[in-house]
Amino acid sequence: MIERSKPLSVPGPTGAASRPAADFVFTFSYETYADAVRRGMMRPPDRILASLMRSPEVRRLLVANPFRWAPRVAASPLLDRDARFPASERMSLHRPVRIRRDDPTDVARLHAEYGIYDRSLLRAARRLTLERPFVLTTNPLVAGFAPFAWASGVTFFARDDWSSSPARAAYWPAYLEAYRRIARSGRAVAAVSAEIIERIAPEGPAAVVPNGVEPTEWTGARPTPPAWFARIPGPRAVYVGTLDSRLDVPGIADLATRRPELHVVLVGPLPHPGYVDALRGLSNVHLHASVARAELVAVLRNSELCLLAHRRTRLTEAMSPLKIYEYLAAGVPVISVDLPPVRGIDDRVLLVDSVAEFADAVPAALAMRPASDERRNAFIMANSWAARHEQVFALARS
């Protein structure tokens, strides 16, 4: 059965102009500031940081990387010279150091480890002369195990349910304990989906803040498609994202087989090349490595159809897929698996029970054709990162 996702009403600004500027601490989860710069500041934590760096609500800002192995931090002036932080009297980047490479997995050692991280942040905050800062962290272990007695408040921004990520299965018990501590502490939680809020069950303030888009990337005239994409015949159905266990490979093979006139383009990193072996013999399936942001925008704005071809798992049921918002910002109709965070975004998203039903939905999706610029721009402004971050900052200061 095909259903259309109904448009979601997005709350407007909540009065940033009336709040005095305050000091903030922002911590990444498992990536560093240099990582964020190299990928184009495009993931949700990167976008939050970019907003903090330019927000009039922020008096001074301390940005903290996660713990890194001491030799790697020592080499960072050389290795990260292409992604230097714009340090000033107002902003500073903190690079915490430790001897071990990875977090421990047992709770007692994590409690001690993030006590050390907390004290390291406090020293950095004092050097920048922060006054009772608000802490905004995207790391569940920081949110759960760091004391932050010196902060005005702590807010955890959850972009995924870490306790269901296959890549971090060794830490699932630790994440669940971190969730319990976050809930009991009364710390605020902003999450990209209601499902994540329900799994954490915070006793303090909470808000669902889905992913969004950066208007400057998506407005304006349609860019010229990249040469490699222009060579692929239409109609083209594009999936963007890491080609890993989230992607329903048998479903994509079924779509390509049943719709030979449709060319399926999968764009993104491939951590395990054998995962997509079943697609390599299909002449209308095209695998392409990750591309830079401008090229990605050009691909999507010249596509005829976009896909959210996820398997139904505990992880995907809690995700707010950034790609959905970018597909719609490009003005392209979307076929998506019916997952809770996808419902209610826009009626140009056709929802089906599984990727095995995508082939049946293709005619209806293609018949929608590209959205008008008026409709596309209205979606972009209603779902801008600026609107999203106003909610996060208000929650952090609640």
Do 225 and 354 belong together in one domain? yes
Same domain for 42 and 184, yes or no, is yes
Asked if residue 41 and residue 105 are part of one domain, the reply reads yes
CA distances in angstroms from 255 to 103, 229, 236, 350, 358, listed in the order given:
41, 20, 12, 15, 6
Residue 264 forms part of a structural domain: yes
Residue 234 covered by a domain:
yes
* CA–CA separation, 3 and 127 (whole Å): 55
**Shared-domain flag, residues 227 and 202:** no
The pLDDT assigned to 82 comes to 85
Q: Which pLDDT score is estimated for 318?
A: 85
pLDDT band at 10 (very low <50, low <70, confident <90, very high): very low
Quick one: 220 and 200 in the same domain? no
Residues of the domain holding 194: 9-212+385-396
Residues 6+ away with beta carbon under 8 Å from 192? 44, 158, 159, 160, 208, 209, 210, 211, 319, 320, 341
The answer to whether position 166 is within a domain reads yes
CATH number at residue 321: 3.40.50.2000
Q: Does 184 share its domain with 58?
A: yes
Residue of 376, 309, 392 whose CA lies nearest to 44: 392
Is-contact 25 126, C-beta < 8 A? Answer: no
Residue 4 belongs to some domain of the structure? no
| pTM over 0.75, yes/no | yes
pLDDT at residue 269 greater than cutoff 60: yes
132-171 pLDDT tens trace: 999 999 999 999 999 999 999 999 999 999 999 888 999 9
53-66 pLDDT tens trace: 999 999 999 999 99
pLDDT at 8 over 50: no
Percent of the chain with pLDDT over 90: 80
Check residue 11 and give its pLDDT. Answer: 44
Quote the number of domains for the chain: 2
Average pLDDT over residues 207-221: 92
| Mean pLDDT, range 381-396, rounded to an integer | 91
Q: Report, as an integer, the average pLDDT of 217-244.
A: 95
pLDDT for residue 12: 45
Asked whether residue 222 is domain-assigned, the answer is: yes
355 domain-assigned: yes
* pLDDT reported for residue 13: 47
Q: Let me know whether 175 and 246 are in one domain.
A: no
Assess contact for 218 and 331: CB atoms under 8 A. no
pLDDT of res. 17: 55
Residues 145 and 257 in one domain: no
Least confident of 74-83, 293-302, 333-342, 350-359: 74-83
Determine, yes or no, domain membership for 3: no
The answer on 189 and 237 residing in a single domain is no
Q: Are residues 373 and 390 in the same domain?
A: no
**Is residue 42 domain-shared with residue 103, that is, in the same domain?**
yes
Mean of pLDDT over the chain: 92
Whether residue 120 is contained in a domain is answered as yes
Q: Which residue type sits at 276? A: V
Convert the pLDDT of each residue in 14-45 to its tens digit. 455 567 899 999 999 999 999 999 988 888 99
What is residue 2's predicted lDDT score, i.e. its pLDDT? Answer: 62
248 and 364 inside one domain: yes
Backbone angles phi, psi at 58, to 5 degrees: -105, 115
- Cβ atoms of residues 285 and 216 within 8 Å: no
What's the rounded Cα separation, in Å, for the pair 314 and 341? Answer: 12
Mean pLDDT of 73-81: 84
